[in-house]
Amino acid sequence: MEIRIGIANIGRELNFETDESAEAIRARVDEALSSKAAALTFTDAKGTSYLVPTAGLAYVELGTEEARRVGFVA
């Protein structure tokens, strides 16, 4: 699943693919915001970790969980 994260006062958004479900990501973001945690950690499909400050979190966009199709549609 593709995740896009917008961070306040940063011109670019953070994009990466993850193997986690949309519900798991949504629950972690909700928990971090409600508990006023300082940062939120994400891990992509390749094992790279991203540490995002919750104070600067502008938005989190969750893509579809189905795989992209390759090729032409007839």
Domain boundaries, the chain: 2-62
Structure tokens of 34?
């409600």
- Cα(first)–Cα(last) distance of the chain, in Å? 25
pLDDT tens for the chain, residues 1 to 74? 899 999 999 989 999 999 999 899 999 999 999 999 999 999 999 999 999 999 999 999 998 766 666 777 66
Predicted structure pTM score: 0.77
Give the per-residue pLDDT at 70. Answer: 72
Compute CA 58 distance to the chain's CA centroid, rounded to the nearest angstrom: 12
